[in-house]
Amino acid sequence: MKRFFPFLILLILPVVVFAQQNTDIFSKLQEIAIIEQKVMMPMRDGVRLATDIYRPKGDVRVPIIFSRTPYNFNTWGDGQFRSRSLEAALDAVQRGYAYVVQNERGKFFSEGEWDILGTPLSDGYDAFSWLSSQPWSNGKIGLIGCSSTAEWQMAVASMEHPALAAMVAQGYGAGVGRVAGYYEQGNWYRGGAQQMLFTAWLYGTQTDKYRPMFPKDIPQEDLVRVQRFYDLAPEMPPVDWSQALRHLPVKGIIKNVNGSVGIYDKMIVRKPNDPAWYQGGLYHDSMPLNVPSFWFVSWYDVSTSPNLALFNHVRKQARSKDIADNQYLVIAPTLHCSFKRATANTIVGERSMGDARLNYDELTWKWFDLQMKGSTNDFRQTTPRVQYFTMGSNQWQASETWPPANAVMTDFFLTSEGKANTRNGNGKLVSRVPSANKPDTFNYDPANPVPSYGGNVCCTGNAVTGGSFDQAEMELRDDILVYTSEPLTEGIEVSGFIEATLYVSSDVKDTDVTLKLIDVTPDGKAYNLDETIQRLRYREGYDKEVFMESGKVYQVKLTPLSTSNYFAKGHRIRIEISGSNFPRFERNLNTGGNNYDEKEGVIAHTSIHHSKKYPSVLRLPVIRK
């Protein structure tokens, strides 16, 4: 037994550290705050949501910082989210705000049945009404959160509650349904292909239909007491997602790992334009959004492009110039919700971004003070409309718009001698349309997909590690077409939305086309910047399926990518094209069937055409330096 003792200490140590941190922070809060835990806030249908409230002592009316979440914020226990919640409460109270954190319907102590984004929308509206009517409230509510604590904000904001004064939404893409041509439906899709992050995420998040629950009439004082030793948090057995996501059919993945029975079973069968996407908690561009908002986006997040498109949409559709001018944006070179992890030498994957730090706390609190306290601070004078980090040059830059106004869309045409397979092939990116059509063909086998390596990801467990990694070895696969520019004679900045139009033929009814943008250094390292995919049955729109005829050439416009990257002199611009990027995206089995309920696939032989008749092109927003 002695030989295992040090290992047991390592297992126990994080629990002890987090628990001690929570106890210390809670003690500080007790000194300065009135604390009300497990307040069961009533919704209009009688369901009650568990809520913790921390507010300054004394007879004062204060603005409220409100965070709603599906995650466990129980004070008594270990875990990073619990610690961060208490830290946020302490920070808010010290600055003269009340801090309120609430579990979504059906999570932990909250009653009712859980659905993603905490629907119905009326729960958010009812919470605003209850909070703003409290005698200690000044009537103004601000929202803050990253990922699941941000993604519910937009749709609820569309209900236009008068108390909602400001939002700080970070990594909020899974709350964006349809905007400006993006039909991701909350990151469930990209280009009509399922993003597999939700399979792994829902395994640990969705509420089982047989979850335990306390009786509805239990007094608040007893809830406060029993939360010390019962917090209703399930302990999910660990899963090797690098293997589990390979299971077919896709709809049986969670069942195959003995996961909970929940909403995944309903969601996996939805198509991109299913009416159910428009009845839940997603924000769509047909809905109003007129709230002063501070948006935070990451280059290596799963939803960068639709996030940026939403920022532009809100500025454009705002009912007044004042609302349009109260939209601000930060784009950091980090992974999902990792803004504050930037250091003097920020490494994202394998690539150094240099000093990517930004004073997020100062920016956020100045923003809240301006919107909720009426403070005459210097936020507007010192904060650019858009602050974006340019990789490669590794510097923060400022712009009044996104993309920057001086970005010029520049065409790079695909060409080859008919053999662009691998980085050793003859695929090129050139400034003029090639005359002859010498198509490149790759074979996509669902049983041997191109593995995801780095990228713009979230929440896939051990299946994919996000960030920028050298793709050179991957590019030796024969099922990857590689197109590369000549070494640049001068450095150029690429900042904005990246468009690609490909001319594609295949011998199957349906397949996928993937594209990855790469920065190639003089020594041959190939760093990924962003990636996209298009399911070809949806090439004409997401409201219909149009299958292909064998050998016929089709124009395919891929879902736009986004980045800000400086390609230095001597670097080369590169794209990879293939039929899979797995398990970042589900595999297309190429049959033309539902895909989610199929076990067997067929090999697709797919060609990319490039000529005057078929001008396959990459369009980059170029800023000359």
What is the DSSP annotation of 295-334? EEEEEESTTHHHHHHHHHHHHHH-SSHHHHTTEEEEEEEE
- Domain contains 390: no
What pLDDT, on the 0 to 100 scale, is given for residue 79? Answer: 65
- Domain contains 599: yes
Residue 363: in which H helix or E strand, if any? helix 360-368
Residue ending a domain, choose from 122, 149, 176: 149
Q: What are phi and psi of 352, to 5 degrees?
A: -80, 130
Residue (of 229, 187, 242) closest to 461 by Cα position: 242
Give the pairing type, strands 98-103 and 62-69.
parallel
Measured distance CA(348)–CA(171) in Å, rounded? 16
Token pair of 547 as six digits? 């299958």
Q: Please provide the average confidence, as pLDDT, over all residues in the chain.
A: 95
Q: What is the DSSP letter of 356?
A: -
Q: Inform me whether the pLDDT recorded for 91 exceeds 50.
A: yes
Q: What is the pLDDT of residues 538-590, one digit of tens each?
A: 999 999 999 999 999 999 999 999 999 999 999 999 999 999 999 999 999 99
Q: What is the pLDDT of residues 221-265, one digit of tens each?
A: 999 999 999 989 999 999 999 999 999 999 999 999 999 999 999
Min mean pLDDT across 7-11, 88-92, 330-334 is at 7-11
CATH number at residue 80: 3.40.50.1820
Task: Name 606's bridge partners.
Answer: 442, 506
pLDDT, average across residues 364-383: 95
Residue (of 291, 382, 385, 289) closest to 330 by Cα position: 385
Look at the block and give the residue holding tokens 């007790």: 30
Residue ending a domain, choose from 130, 149, 168: 149
Q: Is the distance from CB of 428 to CB of 616 less than 8 angstroms?
A: no
Look at the block and give the residue holding tokens 């007094």: 219
What pLDDT, on the 0 to 100 scale, is given for residue 488? Answer: 98
- Domain contains 495: yes
Token pair of 340 as six digits? 């504050």
- Domain contains 140: yes
pLDDT, average across residues 6-32: 68
Local structure of 285: helix, strand or coil: coil
Q: Inform me whether the pLDDT recorded for 77 exceeds 90.
A: no
Give alpha helix (H) positions in 139-289: 153-157, 197-205, 220-226, 241-244, 253-256, 264-267
Q: What is the pLDDT of residues 268-278, one digit of tens each?
A: 999 999 999 99
Residue 138: in which H helix or E strand, if any? strand 137-146
Residue ending a domain, choose from 149, 180, 200: 149
Q: Inform me whether the pLDDT recorded for 400 exceeds 80.
A: yes
Task: Name 334's bridge partners.
Answer: none
Give the pairing type, strands 572-578 and 481-484.
antiparallel
Measured distance CA(182)–CA(310) in Å, rounded? 10
What pLDDT, on the 0 to 100 scale, is given for residue 625? Answer: 75
Measured distance CA(308)–CA(554) in Å, rounded? 29
Prior bond of 120 cis (ω within 30°): yes
Q: In the chain, what percentage of residues exceed pLDDT 90?
A: 91
Q: Which residues of 69-80 are buried (b: 16+ CB within 10 A; e: fewer)?
A: bbbbbbbbbbbe
Task: Name 42's bridge partners.
Answer: 48
Q: For 19-58, give the secondary structure using H, E and C.
A: HHHHHHHHHHHHHHEEEEEEEEEECCCCCEEEEEEEEECC
pLDDT band at 23 (very low <50, low <70, confident <90, very high): confident
- Domain contains 603: yes
| CA atoms within a 13 Å half-sphere pointing along the CA-CB vector of 43 | 22
What pLDDT, on the 0 to 100 scale, is given for residue 17? Answer: 53
Number of domain units in the chain = 2
Q: What is the pLDDT of residues 401-419, one digit of tens each?
A: 999 999 999 999 999 999 9
- Domain contains 265: no
**Domain span holding position 114:** 1-149
Local structure of 8: helix, strand or coil: helix
What pLDDT, on the 0 to 100 scale, is given for residue 209? Answer: 86
Residue (of 535, 546, 523) closest to 606 by Cα position: 535
Min mean pLDDT across 80-94, 101-115, 154-168 is at 80-94
CB atoms within 10 A of CB 581: 26
pLDDT band at 146 (very low <50, low <70, confident <90, very high): very high
pLDDT band at 18 (very low <50, low <70, confident <90, very high): low
What pLDDT, on the 0 to 100 scale, is given for residue 4? Answer: 44
Q: Between residues 289 and 77, which one has the greater pLDDT?
A: 289
- Domain contains 128: yes
What pLDDT, on the 0 to 100 scale, is given for residue 519? Answer: 98
As a dihedral over the C-alpha atoms of residue 541, residue 547, residue 550, residue 555, rounded to 10 degrees, the angle is 0
CATH number at residue 442: 2.60.120.260
Prior bond of 237 cis (ω within 30°): no
pLDDT, average across residues 517-538: 98
Measured distance CA(368)–CA(50) in Å, rounded? 25
The gap from C-alpha 178 to its chain's centroid, in whole angstroms, comes to 14
Measured distance CA(605)–CA(165) in Å, rounded? 54
Q: Please give the C-alpha separations between residue 582 and each of 191, 451, 532, 558, in angstroms, as whole numbers.
A: 15, 5, 12, 18
pLDDT, average across residues 517-541: 98
pLDDT, average across residues 68-89: 85
Q: What is the pLDDT of residues 322-362, one digit of tens each?
A: 999 999 999 999 999 999 999 999 999 999 999 999 999 99
Give the pairing type, strands 182-183 and 98-103.
unpaired
pLDDT band at 5 (very low <50, low <70, confident <90, very high): very low
Task: Name 294's bridge partners.
Answer: 168, 328
Q: Is the distance from CB of 172 to CB of 279 less than 8 angstroms?
A: no
- Domain contains 20: yes
Q: Which residues of 488-512 are buried (b: 16+ CB within 10 A; e: fewer)?
A: eeeebbbbbbbbbbbbbbbbbbbbb
